[in-house]
Structure 1
Amino acid sequence: MAGMVGGAVVVGIDGSDHALQAVRWAAAEAQGRGVRLRLVAAVHPPRTDLVLPPRETDKQHLTRMRAARGPLNTAAAAAAAVAPELEIDREVIGGAPAQVLVEESTTATLVVVGHRGRGGFTGLLLGSVGITLAAEATCPVVVVRGHTDRPSGVVVGVDGTPLGDAALGFGFAEAARRGGPLVAVRAWAEAALDPFLEPLLDWDAIAADEREVLDRALAPWEEGFPAVDVRRVLVRANAAKTLIAQSGTAALVVVGSRGRDGLRGVMLGSVGQALLQHAPCPVAVIHAAAARAEPVPADVAEEVGR
């Protein structure tokens, strides 16, 4: 996938309980992947609209930078409790939190944030930090929410698009690494259908077409990851509700993000937004840059799955 192979798992730290939950999850992930854990606290520079002497501005910034070390130390202790042998880096960086994490994503395996934060690192759906990450990060972003104690099982929605293919690739790799099943969900519904036309449609034929889309999307990944147990879910239902229901016992649910699209902003989509609000487990957001990923060769995939 996008990002540097073997790069650190990076976590945004802001002193909130949700950030600590993200740290514990990320520590286990870093240990399982055999990479470093990197804890980053970003400190906004003083506001430029305040009329302050330069010396006072510098003093305020230095005070904030020093204060951020406390949450970093607390986070490092929480990570060490989960993975005592894990190599842990920690750094306070001056700058806007969103841009700091975007920059970190260029060399990271994952960037991890909590669902809610205290100030800078707020929830992905509502906070500017997460919104920017969803649009601009160059590695997968994981928003830690819900239950985090499930060791295996990955849920991915299948939409038949190149971006959906990138999400599938990430999901297969995660299922192989965790040794759990990959639940591939193809949920389809005709929300705007005229009720008078509904009895006239050949629903069996439509379902067969939808199954073909599902099978075609899964075929290269099943070939690349033969050890993964793939479970197909094909239903005529709302996609977001189906994914939320299927992820009730999962370790991770995966969604794609198209990044910024002109003036329309972040194209995460209604399904992704619903997952980030209501999913009962961590949510992985796979970005547009990951669409360049190719299936992993079978011999490599089988080795990962052992």
Structure 2
Amino acid sequence: MTRAKQPIVAGVDGSESSMQAALWAAGEAQLLSAPLLLVLVNNDPIRKPYAEEVVRDIGSRCQEAVTELEISEEVTYGHPAEELVHRSASARLVVVGSRGQGAFRDTLLGSTSAAVATHASSPVVVVPSDSADLPGPVVAGVDGSPGCRPALRFAFEIANRRRSELVALQALPNAYFIPGPYDHPDRDELLAHAKQQLTEQLSPLTASYPEVVVRQVVSNIPPVQALHEAAEHAQLLVVGHRGRGGFTGLLIGSVARGVLHHAPCPVAVVPG
């Protein structure tokens, strides 16, 4: 399957959160000229007709919002997280709501969304039900590791498509803020090293995407707090799945999970 034909997969369940996720997915599918596939995982055969009605209704609302869009709907069986992770192997992107609250709320609970973001082979966007459709910047968390490079490229791509500013944020590692018996490195030295890493990681991408306006930010507050504050007026926050570089504390799983649980805007988790 060519990349252009890879669908954007949205996991839905009838909740407001999944409705917002489907609409976000529809908008992104339009920008990418990609098909949209709505998937509802229903484990109760008795409710299959209702499940089909729910997913058709969501499809209709997406079609109203984005008229020129190829949309297909599917009701399937199985474990919700496993099913969406399986679909991610052939998807351009998987989009889910942050928490299910509808008739099929057991299918897209927060734990399921987190599991999909953790294990999917494609990028995953988690959309909160109360997130506003802001014209703000795309915010990308940077940690200096090779694993963060795909996330940074994803952030540049989406900022380029949306003609939005990109805020590249490098935060000090969590370990810096944990009291211990050893002295921390000199603050000025650590900040200087972070700034240098940030510039080096951005350099090839700013050359590839010259039209993207980039704002570099180095923060000396804990990573989750720094990313949350930067995302207050953002349209999307992009993080890598796990950090493995010099600042291994920035985008480890715990920080990515913290961002997923508390970010005020949609969050993209990009596998390395």
- Superposed CA deviations along residues 99-132 of structure 1, whole A, max 9, x for unmatched, are 2212211221111110111111112xxx1x2243
Asked if structure 2 preserves the Cα contact closer than 8 Å seen for 1:135 and 1:258, the reply is: no
Map of 2:46 onto structure 1:
63
Map of 1:274 onto structure 2:
258
Q: 1:87 and 2:36 equivalent?
A: no
Map of 2:36 onto structure 1:
37
Asked if structure 2 preserves the Cα contact closer than 8 Å seen for 1:152 and 1:178, the reply is: no
Runs of 4+ in 1 over 4 A off after TM superposition: 193-198
Of the candidates 139, 143, 157, which is equivalent to residue 126 of structure 2? 143
Q: Percent same amino acid at aligned positions?
A: 39
- The Cα shift of 1:196 comes to 9.9
Larger Rg: 1
Unaligned runs of 5+ in 2: 244-250
Asked if structure 2 preserves the Cα contact closer than 8 Å seen for 1:148 and 1:282, the reply is: no
* Structure 2 CA distance for partners of 1:104 and 1:196, relative to 1, 3 Å: closer
- Measured in 1, the distance between the counterparts of 2:139 and 2:60 equals 31
Of the candidates 106, 117, 120, which is equivalent to residue 119 of structure 1? 106
Q: 1:249 and 2:248 equivalent?
A: no
Give the residue type in structure 2 aligned to 1:279. A
- Superposed CA deviations along residues 225-281 of structure 1, whole A, max 9, x for unmatched, are 12111100012111111111111111100112249xxxxxxx962221221111111
Q: 1:107 and 2:90 equivalent?
A: yes
Give the residue type in structure 1 aligned to 2:37. R
Which residues in structure 2 correspond to 1:1-306 (within 5 Å)? 4-44=3-43, 61-117=44-100, 118-123=105-110, 127=111, 129-145=112-128, 146-188=130-172, 190-193=176-179, 202-258=186-242, 269-287=253-271, 291=272
Which TM-score applies when normalising by structure 1? 0.78
Unaligned runs of 5+ in 1: 45-60, 260-266, 292-306
- The Cα shift of 1:143 comes to 0.3
Asked if structure 2 preserves the Cα contact closer than 8 Å seen for 1:13 and 1:121, the reply is: yes
* Structure 2 CA distance for partners of 1:180 and 1:271, relative to 1, 3 Å: same
Structure 1, 148-157 or 35-44: larger mean CA deviation: 148-157
- Measured in 2, the distance between the counterparts of 1:112 and 1:196 equals 43
Asked if structure 1 preserves the Cα contact closer than 8 Å seen for 2:148 and 2:242, the reply is: no
SS in 2 for 1:245: helix
Give the residue type in structure 2 aligned to 1:120. T
Give the residue type in structure 2 aligned to 1:135. T
* Structure 2 CA distance for partners of 1:206 and 1:274, relative to 1, 3 Å: same
Structure 1, 189-198 or 278-287: larger mean CA deviation: 189-198
Asked if structure 2 preserves the Cα contact closer than 8 Å seen for 1:4 and 1:107, the reply is: no
- The Cα shift of 1:138 comes to 1.6
Which TM-score applies when normalising by structure 2? 0.87
SS in 2 for 1:111: strand
Map of 1:303 onto structure 2:
none
- Measured in 2, the distance between the counterparts of 1:94 and 1:258 equals 30
- Measured in 2, the distance between the counterparts of 1:197 and 1:251 equals 38
- Measured in 2, the distance between the counterparts of 1:286 and 1:152 equals 20
> What is the aligned-residue RMSD (CA, Å)?
2.3
SS in 2 for 1:22: helix
- Measured in 2, the distance between the counterparts of 1:197 and 1:132 equals 37
* Structure 2 CA distance for partners of 1:152 and 1:30, relative to 1, 3 Å: farther
Give the residue type in structure 2 aligned to 1:154. V
Give the residue type in structure 2 aligned to 1:105. S
Aligned length: 257
- The Cα shift of 1:193 comes to 4.9
